[in-house]
Amino acid sequence: MEKQRVVLTVENHVGVVTMNRPEAGNALDLQMAKELMEVAIHCSENDEIRAVVITGVGNKFSVGGDLKSFAKEGDEIGTHLKNVTAYLHQAISYFARMNKPFIGAVNGIAAGAGMSLACACDLVYASNNSKFVMAYNKIGLTPDGSGSYFLPRIVGMKRALELMYTNRMLNAQEANEWGIVNDVVPEADLMNVVMELAENLAKGPVHAFGATKKLFAHSLQETLESQMAIEATSLSERAISQEGQEGIQAFLEKREADFLKN
């Protein structure tokens, strides 16, 4: 599945989504947002794909929104941005809520919507030369692409506001220390490290992964008792599922579970 601005390849049950505008730093314009949504739907619905990796072509992850294309809209820029964000936000919603692990491979600058997109990933691995900056307030704008949702949950409210107000740029190591990325690896090793992880996760219980994501998301708005009630329901549902039955039986038989057959 290949499009002009977003490329999807599938290997060993891993869908690799590559933002493909190297001449523009993989900036998000209306067409890229549309294609990203289409790819997100495909990834979420295709049973062959059991884990998803997102990265950018070249030496940048994404510099964020394509301000040049936005400015060309003149007085219609507000309407245009509602169209862009409609597609972008739907794409992020599909990626974030699908059962399959969603892994970011940040290969350079992640700015604005690019940083928001990285924050929306379940796991993030960054090359040692990558940098992260929200960038919005510097040009008088506010975050999109889920940035105002995920960033304060990852780093805390005060640090999130600091990143917004001051336009502070974090290097890869700082982003790791702040919890934005899971690990920093040499640039040449980034995709090998991420693909090895993604292929291992693709062999795992994807429906249990999805249920776990939902539990964690709910935990931010539930009381202790209501969350434990949700946990009990989810656990019992997973125990009678094909994945749960295979996992329990494999444990009792002292063998590796084969979740690919479920």
Q: Are 3 and 54 in contact (CB under 8 A)?
A: no
Tell the residue number behind the tokens 């796991």, with chain if given: 123
Q: Are 114 and 64 in contact (CB under 8 A)?
A: yes
33: Cβ–Cβ under 8 A, 6 or more apart, which residues? 84, 85, 87, 88, 91
For residue 255 the two structure tokens come to 């063998």
- Collect contacts of 9-13 with beta carbons under 8 A, ≥24 apart: 10/46, 10/48, 10/49, 11/195, 12/199, 12/202, 13/48, 13/49, 13/50, 13/51, 13/199, 13/202, 13/203, 13/260
State the catalytic residues: 89, 144
Q: Can you list the alpha helix ranges (DSSP code H) found in the chain?
A: 30-45, 67-71, 77-97, 113-120, 147-155, 157-166, 172-177, 190-202, 206-219, 224-239, 242-252
232: Cβ–Cβ under 8 A, 6 or more apart, which residues? none
